[in-house]
Chain A
Amino acid sequence: MNQLQNLTNQMSRRHFFGRSASGLGIAALGSLLGQNSAEAAHSNNLPTNLPMKAPTAKRVIYLFQSGAPSQMDMFDYKPEMAKRYGEELPESVRGNQRLTGMTAQQGRLCVAPTIYNFEQRGQSGAWMSDLLPHTAKITDDLCIVKSMHTDAINHDPAITFLMTGSQLPGRPSMGSWLSYGLGSENSNLPAFVVMSSKGSGRKNGQPLYQRLWGSGFIPSQHQGCSFWWRY
């Protein structure tokens, strides 16, 4: 990637995050005023703090792996844990973290490393475990973000937080914000659609709630439309 491209990307990113409040609003204006946002963007009256580069993304596909294996078993390589296998969780890690009702009664809180083998993959050398042999082949095409964390320790509040930014119900979901901010080129179809997997049939298999694609406090035209399994 050349330097200019780099700079442009940085600018867009900074503009997006630094000005996201007004940025989204302006994008929303696009969907409110005209048949399509491109038309609106060419209008002379729009403020100047739009991203430097017109967004090229046409659609967003978001896969949410409800109940997936732990990152520690897949791509978050933690060799130090193997060295400290069985030791008491150090205070520097344990800190003031809350314990779930499940773990609070345990006699000990000890370090339990992954049981899977990790290797560096592709040219980037990203670590990935043997659990993901196929994914490992496309490592160089992936972007892995390891800095995500949450305060929520129970399923419902945690997933609600991931999908709406708040542990409590009532906020618009990610898809609703995209629909609100970017609009839709199609006025005769739902804002966005949701496909939920069938689940394994186990209890607690996939805790899913309609609010995860609901529109919260913004109008319900921005809610997702779910597709259901037909047998």
Chain B
Amino acid sequence: MPTLTSLSQMIIATAFFAVSTVTLFAVEPDAPIDFNRDVRPILADACLHCHGLDEESREADLQLDFEENATAERDGYFVVKPGQPERSELVSRILSDDEYSKMPPPESHRQLTKKEVETLKQWIAQGAPFAKHWSFISPEKPEVPDHETDWCKNEIDSFIFQKLNSKSIKPQKIANKRTLIRRVTLDLTGLPPTPEEVQQFLQDKSENAYSQLVDRLLASPTYGEQMAVTWMDLARYADSGGYQGDIPRTMWPWRDWVINAYNSNMPFDQFTTEQLAGDLLPNATESQIIATGFNRNHRVNDEDGIIAEEFRTEYAVDRLETTTLTWTGLTLGCARCHDHKFDPLSQKDFYSFMAYFNSVDEYGRGYGNTQPLYYFDKETRAIIERIDQELIDLGDAAQGEYQKLIDLKKERDEVLKDSLTTMVMKDLPTPRKTYVLTRGLYDKPGDEVFHGVPNEVFPLPADAPENRLGLAAWLLDPQHPLTARVAVNRYWQMHFGTGLVATPEDFGTRGEAPSHPELLDWLAIRFIESNWDVKAMHRLIVMSATYQQNSDVTKETYLKDPNNRLLARGPRVRMTAEMIRDQSLAAAQLIDDRIGGPSVKPYQPEGVWSDMVAFFPEYDQDHGRNLYRRSLYTYIRRTVQPPAMNALDFQSRETCQVRRATTNTPLQALVLMNDPTYIEAARVLATRTMLKRDEFKTDQDWITDIYERILVRKPTHEELKILSSQLQYHRNQFVSDSNNAAKFTKIGEKEFKAAIDPTEVAARTAIVSLVLNLDETLNRD
């Protein structure tokens, strides 16, 4: 369990990083000022709020990040006079002591530091060069740096090594084989390697043992499951509608589409087009239509009293926010009520973009799976469409006809119990008109707008159709400055914990600049040139020496780079809620390897649903194999997420999420020590190994086997000593309290026919549980 000391150390380490980045990423004193690297962050943080793009809040008609405006002559003076700081009003204002002329104004919370003032002066002295924000400029393929070192295994390493070299930091050696197989197996499949797989890899002394391992993992169907989890976070996938009733829905056919797409290595451009606009493709197949469920995974309001049009607007907004964040890392959502304060995204851009999502043939109030639907049984189509029309007609006149509403919903539930549907995109024959909405309000339409994209970021290709296919074509244009960068950054983040751009939620001017800009661009272009080959990109990353390094760190290097942004060591990452549970199930050989299908309901404390939700309040816990499905199949009820996952930083899936927080809390240890899932896994592993007792002469042998299965290594002498005495302690405890032993060994539904002494099972279960709780178990090194 983390103590406060360790927590505050972590936080201090973070604080230290903020200081140390200055030395890691800043310019040398006499180096030329770079607008994007040095000036824009100051302007964005301290000035653009009042002197930026947003006309509503712009003061003195000054837009500091826009060259023409900032350098224009104004009644005989200049705000910025390139080359002449002494004639630039900006400089005299930031140096002023006068409370009326000083900038930023004295009452502003944000004041400039001496260093920032100096940077701005230098920038003007050097001719005040302006530049577009880095992420809005199309990447160009950089030269791969050449080094005389045998550390580098591929191009990635050349870029990483170059930066390390310039800081006189040495990278780490390749990690040992046990660490490597655990790391790469967990990363690519979300599961730990089996003892047999470990043995095979250790015995394979050939040069390409690791490369063959990677190929085997990429070909495993569990790869698609692991990749799908991240995509489900982006797509805000859940098994219920959210809002008041949080009515169950069946969107799992879309989830299975994602798993299959990853497993068949569908190129990212096709993956994109089918999810955004599969329904608009000529002769769209069943699979292409199901793919469009991506943009139907948003919440849907079922409450009878709502104004339907208000929520229909919310769904279109949600699609816009999710699509822009997922593919471009832009915070276009900020421009709903006003022009973006920092990025070149106007309110008009927002609504032009929304036009792509505004013509769905839908109604704002919806119950369960809402129209438009894909019907797996064609014959139920007419019935459901009739009920849905009656629900709409009745809805607004709900008062007095409440019973009829309830009856209709009941009838609908009955039909859909045996007849599968899934929500998909389908546009109206005549598009809805789209307007700029004043302050973002559905009932305050302003000027009409038409399909469009933020031109400042990247213009629409000339031949792009005026529908979602055109939007996909825009995103996938090889010159698009964001799509490929955002995608490869996400893959990087999956393997290193942090992206090359550490703020995947914002690639705009307020986001963090990439730690290795050339590498990011090189990867982005490589990705496009490979015809968007996703498996090849993951392969490239995990084959690099950078990825394969061991995670040891010297004190000196740690102090220079506590967050490992320079990658002088291997990544050590806390596993996700899904990985932690799946690891325990896999180690106990409980895990069910069936892929796809309806979501399942594993153990959950009693009453969690029934206290919270009024509709469908009974959590019908599954039994048998369904208890041990992989965690990505766990039923996600939006307003009451599974508490055990929640404790481990799983979020609500109410909106698009590009990264999960990693926290350490006492609750996590309580879950892992008490949740039936983990006690059962510990008991099953203890029992299975005990049944093969002839293999183990001593307790030490048994503990070693448990270590090999969970941590993929042998215990140290010291660890053996502690755990052996702990095992003896538990034996004594349970022998003296056999009732407790009997109770402890009855947790979880998995039963064994063989007659084994419950006190011995209990004692060994306690040891396995302890190992499952080790910090080393919960992190992938």
A residues near B (Cβ < 8 Å) are 21-22, 32-35, 98-102, 104-106, 153-156, 168-170, 187-190, 196-199, 202-211, 214, 219-221, 223, 225-226, 228-231
Q: Are A221 and B307 in contact (CB under 8 A)?
A: no
What are 24 sample pairs from A and B whose C-beta atoms fall under 8 A apart? A98-B443, A100-B305, A101-B305, A101-B306, A101-B308, A101-B395, A101-B398, A102-B398, A102-B399, A106-B399, A153-B305, A154-B301, A154-B305, A187-B2, A190-B666, A196-B611, A196-B612, A204-B614, A207-B244, A208-B612, A209-B246, A226-B643, A228-B611, A229-B607
CA distance A169 to B329 in the complex (A): 20
Mark interface residues in B665-704 (1 if CB within 8 Å of A CB, else 0): 1110000000000000000000000000000000000000
CA distance A187 to B11 in the complex (A): 14
B7 neighbours in A (Cβ, 8 Å) = 187
Q: Are B307 and A100 in contact (CB under 8 A)?
A: yes
How far does the Cβ of A143 sit from chain B's closest Cβ, in whole Å? 30
Chain A binding surface, main DSSP class? loop
B1 neighbours in A (Cβ, 8 Å) = 188
Q: Are A22 and B308 in contact (CB under 8 A)?
A: no
CA distance A35 to B646 in the complex (A): 26
How far does the Cβ of A57 sit from chain B's closest Cβ, in whole Å? 22
Q: Does B4 contact A (CB under 8 A)?
A: yes
Q: Are A170 and B655 in contact (CB under 8 A)?
A: yes
B280 neighbours in A (Cβ, 8 Å) = none
Q: Identify the 9 closest CB pairs spanning chains A and B, nearest first.
A: A187-B4, A209-B639, A102-B305, A221-B663, A100-B305, A169-B654, A228-B607, A156-B243, A203-B614
Given contact pairs A104-B307, A156-B242, A210-B612, a sample of 8 additional A-B residue pairs in the complex whose CB atoms are under 8 Å apart: A32-B15, A35-B8, A102-B398, A155-B244, A187-B4, A205-B614, A206-B614, A208-B639
Q: Are A156 and B614 in contact (CB under 8 A)?
A: no
A153 neighbours in B (Cβ, 8 Å) = 305, 307
B242 neighbours in A (Cβ, 8 Å) = 156, 169
Q: Are B608 and A155 in contact (CB under 8 A)?
A: no
A102 neighbours in B (Cβ, 8 Å) = 304-305, 398-399
B303 neighbours in A (Cβ, 8 Å) = 154-156
How far does the Cβ of A21 sit from chain B's closest Cβ, in whole Å? 7
CA distance A162 to B482 in the complex (A): 37
Q: Are B244 and A189 in contact (CB under 8 A)?
A: no
Q: Does B509 contact A (CB under 8 A)?
A: no
In the complex, residue of chain B having the shortest beta-carbon distance to the beta carbon of A185: B4
Q: Does B606 contact A (CB under 8 A)?
A: yes
CA distance A198 to B244 in the complex (A): 17
How far does the Cβ of A20 sit from chain B's closest Cβ, in whole Å? 11
In the complex, residue of chain B having the shortest beta-carbon distance to the beta carbon of A35: B4
CA distance A225 to B670 in the complex (A): 12
B362 neighbours in A (Cβ, 8 Å) = none
Q: Does B661 contact A (CB under 8 A)?
A: yes
How far does the Cβ of B97 sit from chain A's closest Cβ, in whole Å? 21
Question: Contacts A154-B303, A154-B306, A220-B663: A104 and B396 contacting too (C-beta < 8 A)?
Answer: yes
B2 neighbours in A (Cβ, 8 Å) = 187
Q: Does B649 contact A (CB under 8 A)?
A: yes
A169 neighbours in B (Cβ, 8 Å) = 242, 652, 654-655
CA distance A191 to B365 in the complex (A): 36
Q: Are B663 and A198 in contact (CB under 8 A)?
A: no
Picked from B11, B605, B607, the residue with its CB within 8 Å of the CB of A32 is B11
Q: Does B640 contact A (CB under 8 A)?
A: yes
CA distance A196 to B641 in the complex (A): 16
Q: Does B664 contact A (CB under 8 A)?
A: yes
B652 neighbours in A (Cβ, 8 Å) = 169, 210-211, 214
Among the interface residues A168, A205, A231, which one has the most CB atoms of the partner chain B within 10 A?
A: A168
Q: Are A223 and B646 in contact (CB under 8 A)?
A: yes
Q: Does B378 contact A (CB under 8 A)?
A: no
Q: Are A98 and B649 in contact (CB under 8 A)?
A: no
Interface residues of B in 608-657 (CB under 8 A from A): 608, 611-612, 614-615, 638-641, 643, 646, 649, 651-652, 654-655
Question: Contacts A101-B308, A187-B666, A220-B649: A210 and B640 contacting too (C-beta < 8 A)?
Answer: yes
Q: Are A105 and B396 in contact (CB under 8 A)?
A: yes
A205 neighbours in B (Cβ, 8 Å) = 614
B614 neighbours in A (Cβ, 8 Å) = 199, 202-207
Q: Are B611 and A156 in contact (CB under 8 A)?
A: no
CA distance A231 to B606 in the complex (A): 9
Picked from B15, B612, B615, B661, the residue with its CB within 8 Å of the CB of A220 is B661
In the complex, residue of chain A having the shortest beta-carbon distance to the beta carbon of B638: A209
B205 neighbours in A (Cβ, 8 Å) = none
Q: Does B397 contact A (CB under 8 A)?
A: yes
In the complex, residue of chain A having the shortest beta-carbon distance to the beta carbon of B661: A219
CA distance A50 to B607 in the complex (A): 44
